[in-house]
């Protein structure tokens, strides 16, 4: 993998997560079950990838309760949006042969 491609984002499952969250408007969040269903991932697999993205500062995980039921919401941070934009630019440059 070229050095310009962020290894945190480059893993296929994490790339799908980041791309899905990047499609949201700034300030919007997506519920964990909705993202899990959208990406057709198991809860454990999605949680593992979200932890790596959260540790990198790319994803904000908000845990709350709706009534007595726990709820988890996900959003891409500004740092995550910047990292994804840089990833996209590096990938386009790579595909164009300019890197």
Confidence label for 3 from pLDDT (cuts 50, 70 and 90): low
What pLDDT score was predicted for residue 97? Answer: 85
Q: Which domain holds residue 48?
A: 7-96
Name residues whose C-beta falls within 8 Å of residue 11's C-beta, 6 or more positions apart in sequence: 49, 52
Q: Which has the closest alpha carbon to 14: 53, 43, 56, 47?
A: 53
Tally of structural domains, the chain: 1
User: What confidence score (pLDDT) does residue 4 get?
Assistant: 78
User: Residue 58 has what DSSP assignment?
Assistant: S
In a domain? residue 55:
yes
CATH of the domain at 71: 1.10.10.10
Global model pTM greater than 0.95: no
- Who contacts 37 (Cβ-Cβ below 8 Å, separation ≥6)? none
Q: Is residue 2 part of a domain?
A: no
Residue 14 included in any domain = yes
Q: What is the largest CA-CA distance in the chain?
A: 54
Q: In the predicted model, is pLDDT for residue 56 greater than 90?
A: yes
Q: Is the residue at 1 inside a domain?
A: no
């Amino acid at each position: 993998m070229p050095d310009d491609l962020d290894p945190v984002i480059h893993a296929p499952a994490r790339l799908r997560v980041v791309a899905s969250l990047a499609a949201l408007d700034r300030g919007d969040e997506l519920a964990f079950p909705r993202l899990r269903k959208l990406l057709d991932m198991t809860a454990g697999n999605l949680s593992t990838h979200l932890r790596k993205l959260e540790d990198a500062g790319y994803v904000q995980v908000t845990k709350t309760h709706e009534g007595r039921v726990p709820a988890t919401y996900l959003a891409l941070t500004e740092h995550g949006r910047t990292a994804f934009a840089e990833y996209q630019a590096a990938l386009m440059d790579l595909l164009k042969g300019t890197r």
